[in-house]
């Protein structure tokens, strides 16, 4: 399959360079544009439909966002769409959710403490394993790699109870360690598979040249391959980050105590216990959303690349 990440970022910009182009190419472009008009479903109707769908897709988020800035008395007495006729803005909801009776700041910290190691550790381990699978010759390499790939199909539900028993036996229960360790384990198969694919794309001649110069595997790994893999690592790091930050299942199984609970679990619980307090829920939800949203908006390019590598290649 020849779908690389770059394919996404190739909007056809015929207009942009049109001015300086010689006549022949301008003619060609006009022809292309005519052709394009025929091949596409584009019409005012199509554009209208696209805009309508985009609005429909955005309204739910937008509605809760507006609500999070409305005074509690307004929220219960009128819909958020009346805000524009009768605006009243307050930051009290966020104050309450963060440090008041929502108390989300502590859970926000837990999310951070959980996420950082749970991103760094699996990626480092996966990089080493991917290197071994890609560039070290050893018996049963193919079989082992397929075995790792196959482990991706194990749903994490299948592992939870025995893992819990293991953690209890080691006296680690009710600490951050089970959360870090299980996120690491669950992230490994996909990470190894993806990073291996990227490692394989590095030309063999580069690795061979380093080997001829007398570099061992450790040196080749750090000096030759790691610098080339930075975009791939970034792509997977974003994925693992979002996965861990947004996770609910691992959190409520391995970090149930309020001292360890991440913000997703805290919000899910708020939704159950205070489901009608929308001033608290709306602000709380956006406190939980803001970090992944910032990561997504800031690193969208890597995000899409990682998605295509993961989604299309397997």
Partner 1 sequence: MDWFLNPTSVSDKLIVMVVAIVLFVAIMALILWLIDRPNVPNWLVVAGFLGPVTIALVVGLFYPAAGTVWRSFQVSQAAVGPDGKPVINPNTGQKTSELVFSFANYDKVFTDPSFQKVLLNTVWWVILVPVVATVFGLIYAVLVDRTRGEKLAKALVFLPMAISMVGASIIWKFMYEYRQEGAPQIGLLNQVLVWLGLDPYQFIITEPWNTFFLIVVMIWIQAGFAMTVLSAAIKSVPDDIVEAAQIDGATGFKLFRKVTVPTIRPAVVVVITTIAMGSLKAFDIVRTMTGGNFGTSVVANEFYTQTFRQGEQGVGIGAALAVILFVIIIPVIVYNVRQMRLSEEMR
Among 17, 27, 42, 73, binds partner 1 (CB under 8 A): 42
105 burial type by CB count under 10 A (0-12 exposed, 13-18 middle, 19+ buried):
middle
Say how many residues touch partner 1, by CB under 8 A. Answer: 125
* Residue whose CB is less far from partner 1, 21 or 109: 109
Residue 224: CB atoms within 10 Å:
18
* Binding residue for partner 1, selected from 154, 168, 204, 206, defined by CB under 8 A: 154
Q: By CB under 8 A, which span of 88-96, 194-202, 229-237, 260-268 interacts with partner 1?
A: 260-268
Under the criterion CB under 8 A, does residue 39 sit at the interface with partner 1? yes
Q: For tokens 């990561």, what's the residue?
A: 295
| Torsions phi, psi for 283 (to 5 deg) | -65, -40
Of residues 54 through 113, those in contact with partner 1 by CB under 8 A are: 54, 57-61, 63-64, 67, 75-81, 109-110, 113
String of b and e for 249-270 (b: at least 16 CB within 10 Å)?
ebbebbbeeeebbbbbbbbeeb
For partner 1, the closer CB: 39 or 205: 39
* Sites for partner 1 among residues 116-135 (CB under 8 A): 116-117, 120-121, 124-126, 128-129, 131-133
Q: Which stretch binds partner 1 (CB under 8 A): 22-30, 195-203, 204-212, 275-283?
A: 275-283
- From residue 185, alpha-carbon distances to 47, 134, 165, 262 in Å are 45, 21, 16, 19
| Residue whose CB is less far from partner 1, 77 or 101 | 77
What is each CA distance from 82 to 6, 70, 76, 77, 308, in whole angstroms? Answer: 43, 11, 12, 10, 41
**Interaction residues for partner 1, span 225-254 (CB under 8 A):** 242, 245-249, 252-253
Q: What is the DSSP string of 25-92?
A: HHHHHHHHHHHHHHHS--SHHHHHHHHHHHHHHHHHHHHHHHHTTS-HHHHHHS-GGGGGTS----SH
Pick the stretch among 23-31, 91-99, 146-154, 193-201 that binds partner 1 (CB under 8 A). 146-154
Which C-beta is closer to partner 1: that of 79 or that of 87?
79
Of 66 and 232, which CB lies nearer to partner 1 in the complex structure? 66
Residue 25 interacting with partner 1 (CB under 8 A): no
């Amino acid at each position: 399959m020849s779908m690389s990440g770059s394919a996404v970022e190739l909007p056809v910009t015929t207009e942009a360079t049109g001015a300086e182009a010689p006549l022949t190419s301008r003619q060609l472009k006009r022809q292309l544009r005519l052709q394009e008009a025929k091949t596409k479903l584009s019409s005012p109707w199509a554009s209208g439909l696209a805009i309508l769908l985009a609005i429909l897709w955005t309204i739910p988020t937008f509605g809760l966002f507006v609500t999070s800035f409305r005074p509690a008395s307004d929220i219960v007495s009128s819909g958020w769409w009346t805000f524009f006729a009768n605006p009243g803005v307050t930051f009290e909801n966020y104050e309450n959710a963060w440090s008041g009776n929502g108390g989300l700041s502590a859970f926000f910290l837990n999310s951070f403490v959980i996420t950082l190691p749970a991103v760094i550790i699996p990626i480092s381990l996966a990089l080493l394993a991917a290197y071994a699978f890609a560039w070290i010759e050893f018996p049963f390499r193919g079989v082992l790699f397929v075995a790792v790939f196959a482990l991706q199909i194990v749903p994490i539900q299948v592992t939870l109870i025995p893992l819990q028993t293991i953690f209890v036996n080691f006296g680690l229960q009710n600490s951050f360690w089970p959360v870090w360790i299980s996120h690491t384990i669950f992230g490994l198969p996909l990470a190894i598979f993806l990073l291996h694919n990227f490692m394989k794309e590095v030309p063999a001649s580069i690795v061979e040249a380093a080997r001829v110069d007398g570099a061992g595997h450790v040196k080749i790994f750090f000096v030759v391959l790691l610098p080339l893999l930075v975009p791939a690592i970034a792509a997977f790091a974003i994925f693992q980050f979002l996965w861990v930050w947004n996770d609910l299942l691992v959190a409520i199984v391995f970090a149930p105590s309020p001292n360890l609970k991440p913000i997703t679990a805290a919000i899910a619980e708020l939704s159950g216990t205070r489901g009608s307090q929308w001033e608290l829920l709306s602000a709380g939800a956006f406190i939980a959303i803001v970090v992944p949203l910032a990561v997504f908006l800031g690193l969208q390019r890597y995000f899409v690349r990682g998605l295509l590598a993961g989604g299309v290649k397997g």
